[in-house]
Amino acid sequence: MENVLEIKDLSKKIKDFALDKVSFNLEKGYVMGLVGPNGSGKTTTIRLIMNLLHKDNGYIKIFGMDNTKNERDIKQRIGFVYDENIYPVAMKLEKVAKLVAPLYTNWNQKLFEEYIERFGLDLGKNIGDLSKGMTSKFAVAMAISHKPEFLIMDEPTSGLDPISRREILEIIQELMDDGNTSVLFSTHITSDLEKIADYVTFMDNGKIFESDSYANIAKRYRVVKGNTQILEKYKNEIIGYKGGQFGSEGLSGNWGGFEKMDGIMLQIPSIEDIMFYASRR
Ligand SMILES: Nc1ncnc2c1ncn2[C@@H]1O[C@H](COP(=O)(O)OP(=O)(O)OP(=O)(O)O)[C@@H](O)[C@H]1O
C-alpha cells in the first residue's frame, strides 16, 4: 500500500477557528471526497496541503515527501483547482495557458486543447466573460493538462449544472483509469461522492469525524429513530441526538442493542445523514 497523501495531527489556528489534530491518509489510485458543513475546515485543510498556509503543528506528506520542503517537485506532479477563479479576468484563456504551460515540464498542449474543445470553451474569450460553470471547467482543464499524479480540487463542481458536473466527474473517472492517479476533492454535493469517491472524509468543526470507505462507514453507523422515552435513556450512545414530543433521532455507532427494541427503527445512513448528525453533536 502506497499513500499519496499522509496527514498526521495537523493543527492550525485562524482567529476563532481551529483545525484540530487532523489525520487521514489517501492511498495511491483512489478518489477521496472531503465533506463537512460550511466552515468545518475543508478549504483550510486543502490550503495547508498546498502549502498556501503555514501549519502550527503536525505533518503533511505528499508522495512520501514533506509538502513544504519538497514543494517544487511535488507541485510538478500535482493538479490543483481552487475554490475561486485565480486568473486575471481581462486575460484571454489562450494567454493564461501560454503563461502557465512553461511552469510544468509535462504540460501537454494537445491534451489541453482536447479538454478545451470537449468542454466547449473558446480560447479567444476573456476569463471574465466565462460563466461560473465555464470558469470551473477551465480551471479543471488547466489542472489536468500536465497529467498530474494527484489531483486536488476545492469544490470543483459547485455552481455547475448536472450535465457539466457529470462531464467533470467523467473526466476524473478517465484520469483514474491508469490506476496511478489519485484525487482529493471537497464538495457539498453528496451525489457526486456516491458516483466517484472510494473514500469519504467527514470534517466537522475543524476535526475529522470519520475517514474511510462509505461502505465501511455505513456498516459502522445507523440512524436511530423512535420512542423518546426509550431513546432518552440511551442518548449518550447517540450522536446528534434530538429528542422530541413525537419521537427522537440521531446517529449511533453502537447500535446493536437497539435492534431488538420495540418502537425503535434503524436505517443505514446516507452521506448526508452522517454529515447532518455529526454536525449536530
Ligand atoms: N483568513 C481567515 N480569517 C479568518 N477566518 C478564517 C480565515 N480563513 C478561514 N477562516 C475561518 O476558518 C473556518 C473554516 O473555514 P474553511 O473555509 O476551511 O471551511 P470550509 O469547510 O471550506 O467551508 P465551506 O464549505 O463554506 O467552503 C471558518 O470559520 C472561517 O471563517
Domain total in the chain: 2
33 shares its domain with 151: yes
Q: Which atom of ligand 1 is nearest to the CA of 186?
A: 22
Distance of CA 206 to the CA centre of its chain: 14
129 and 266 belong to one structural domain:
no
Q: Are 139 and 81 spatial neighbours (Cβ–Cβ below 8 Å)?
A: yes
For 199-253, the pLDDT digits (tens) are 999 999 999 999 999 999 999 999 999 999 999 999 999 999 998 888 999 999 9
C-alpha cell of residue 22? 487532523
Which phi and psi angles does 136 have, rounded to 5°? -65, -45
Residues 191 and 245 in one domain: no
- pTM score: 0.92
CATH code of residue 49: 3.40.50.300
Same domain membership, residue 129 and residue 26: yes
Read off the C-alpha cell for 13.
489556528
- In angstroms, the CA 126 to CA 124 distance is 7
What residue numbers bound the domain in which 142 lies? 3-216
The residue to mutate among 34, 42, 208, having the most atoms of ligand 1 within 8 angstroms of its beta carbon, is: 42
If one counts every other C-beta atom within 10 angstroms of the C-beta of residue 257, the result is: 11
d(CA 218, CA 268): 6
pLDDT value of position 245: 87
The C-alpha cell that represents 31 in the structure block: 478518489
pLDDT for res 279: 92
The three cell numbers of residue 84 are 475561486
Q: Say if ligand 1 is within 6 A of residue 84 CB.
A: no
| Contact between 52 and 78 (Cβ < 8 Å) | no
Positions in the chain short of pLDDT 50:
none
In this predicted structure, what is the pLDDT of residue 39? 94
> What's the burial of 82, exposed, middle or buried (CB within 10 Å: 0-12/13-18/19+)?
buried
* 226 shares a domain with 110: no
Pocket residue to mutate for ligand 1, from 12, 14, 208, most atoms within 8 A of Cβ: 14
* Whole-complex ipTM: 0.94
pLDDT reported for residue 272? 93
d(CA 270, CA 247): 20
Q: Quickly tell me which residue has 459502522 as its cell.
A: 220
The confidence score (pLDDT) of residue 179 equals 85
Cα–Cα dist 159/136, whole Å: 8
The set of residues, in sequence order, having a beta carbon less than 8 Å from that of 196 and lying 6+ positions away, is 31, 33, 169, 172, 173, 176, 183
43 and 146 housed in the same domain: yes
Please name the residue whose Cα sits nearest to atom 11 of ligand 1: 17
Per-residue pLDDT, 277? 95
